[in-house]
């Protein structure tokens, strides 16, 4: 079966450009302060720092590099992405997807993949995709990691997943979607493109499946990227995913693994194409 959706794969091209912009902005602030006083310069300084915060905390921000939020299609297809695995729930999630004829991309955590290597291989065997979701999943402070720790988090997860799966992931998702300025450089080195989302119901924290469903359904449209989770502490991710898949079927949406394609270029990941067949 061919895949009708194209996901444009954009690796950061200038991962350190933000340094130049920030230095120029601070030079301008200093000049304004010297020339016109703090009343003029201080608002610009505040705007500069607020922009940095916004660019880090907003999941679909492109301030520090590209972020994919939907796939190119006018057909009723979705890109279902499942974060935070592998976990004890992974086999049940795979059975549920099979029951609905749905395909998904699993954004996997390196240390959890080392704990459940057989689940990683089973994800691929059943025709799904995998992506890099950091090595340790620092939920509360991923956004604040420095350049060395951020590099290690992304590179170690990439090495783990490549070794276990036998393929090199081409997608990356930041933990909680928050990508600070130090994410872009390792993504460029590893050829990874960052994936955000279009529709989410906060199922990693919200334990009411119907509440999650209502939120996701309001955001559905052809080509949206749906964010889901497995293994949350509340233990109701499977119930939630069941409702979501049932509703997708009722609305005529199919969940597919899109073909990754370089902007303006050919397909770059034959293995992803094979997995989607």
- Closest residue by Cα to residue 168 from 196, 193, 195, 197: 193
- Does the global pTM surpass 0.95? no
Going by the DSSP 8-state scheme, the letter that residue 267 receives in this structure is B
- Please name every residue paired with 227 in a beta bridge, in sequence order, or none if there are none: 81, 200
pLDDT at 262: 74
List pLDDT tens digits, range 232-242.
999 999 999 99
Q: Residue 264: its pLDDT value, please?
A: 54
Give residue 159's pLDDT: 98
Confidence band, pLDDT 50/70/90 cuts, at residue 5: confident
Which range is least confidently modeled, 52-56, 75-79, 156-160?
Answer: 52-56
Contacts of the segment 57-61: beta carbons below 8 A, 24+ positions apart: 57/143, 57/178, 59/174, 59/176, 59/177, 59/178, 59/179, 59/196, 59/197, 60/177, 60/196, 60/197, 61/179
Question: Using CA of residue 240, residue 125, residue 6, residue 193, what is the dihedral sign?
Answer: positive
Among 1, 4, 10, which Cα is nearest to 265's? 10
Outline where 58-169 has alpha helix (H). 90-99, 110-115, 117-125, 147-165
Distance CA 153, CA 231 (A): 20
Instruction: Single out the residue of 146, 153, 115, 150 nearest to residue 132, CA to CA.
Output: 153
Tell me how far apart the alpha carbons of residues 274 and 156 are, in angstroms, rounded to a whole number: 25
Burial of 107 (0-12, 13-18, 19+ CB in 10 A): buried
Q: Is 190 exposed, middle or buried (0-12, 13-18, 19+ CB in 10 A)?
A: buried
Banded model confidence at residue 268, pLDDT cuts 50, 70, 90: low
Domain boundaries, the chain: 64-276
Condensed to tens digits (0 to 9), the pLDDT of residues 35-75 reads: 999 898 899 889 988 898 899 999 999 999 999 999 989 99
Tokens of 235: 């233990």
Q: Report the top-level CATH class of 64-276.
A: alpha beta
pLDDT score of 271 more than 60: no
Q: What is the pLDDT of residue 182?
A: 96
| pLDDT reported for residue 175 | 97
Rounded CA separation 187/227 (Å) = 21
pLDDT band at 273 (very low <50, low <70, confident <90, very high): very low
225 bridge partner residues: 79
Give 146-150's long-range contacts (Cβ < 8 A, gap of 24+).
146/182, 147/182, 147/185, 150/180, 150/182, 150/183, 150/186
How high is the pLDDT of residue 147? 96
């Amino acid at each position: 079966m061919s895949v009708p959706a194209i996901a444009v794969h954009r690796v950061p091209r200038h991962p350190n450009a933000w340094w130049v912009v920030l230095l120029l902005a601070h030079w301008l602030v200093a000049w304004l302060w010297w020339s016109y006083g703090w009343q003029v310069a201080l608002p610009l300084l505040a705007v500069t720092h607020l922009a940095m915060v916004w660019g880090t905390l907003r999941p679909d921000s492109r301030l520090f590099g590209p972020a994919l939020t939907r796939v190119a299609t006018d057909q009723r297809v979705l890109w279902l992405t499942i974060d935070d695995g592998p976990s004890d729930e992974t086999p049940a999630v795979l059975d549920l997807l099979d029951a609905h004829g749905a395909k998904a991309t699993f954004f996997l955590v390196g240390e959890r993949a080392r704990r459940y290597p057989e689940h990683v291989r089973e994800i691929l065997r059943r025709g799904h995709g995998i992506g890099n979701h950091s090595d340790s999943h620092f939920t509360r402070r991923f956004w604040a990691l420095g350049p060395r720790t951020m590099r290690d988090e992304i590179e170690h997860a990439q090495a783990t997943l490549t070794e276990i799966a036998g393929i090199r992931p081409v997608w990356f998702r930041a933990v909680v979607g928050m990508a600070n300025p130090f994410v872009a450089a390792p993504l460029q080195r590893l050829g990874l493109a960052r994936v955000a989302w279009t529709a989410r119901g906060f199922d990693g924290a919200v334990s009411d499946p119907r509440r999650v469903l209502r939120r996701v359904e309001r955001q559905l449209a052809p080509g949206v990227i749906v964010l889901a989770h497995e293994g949350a502490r509340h233990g109701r991710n499977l119930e939630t995913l069941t409702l979501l898949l049932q509703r997708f079927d009722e609305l005529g949406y199919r969940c597919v693994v899109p073909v990754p394609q370089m902007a303006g270029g050919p397909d770059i990941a034959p293995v992803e194409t094979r997995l989607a067949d």
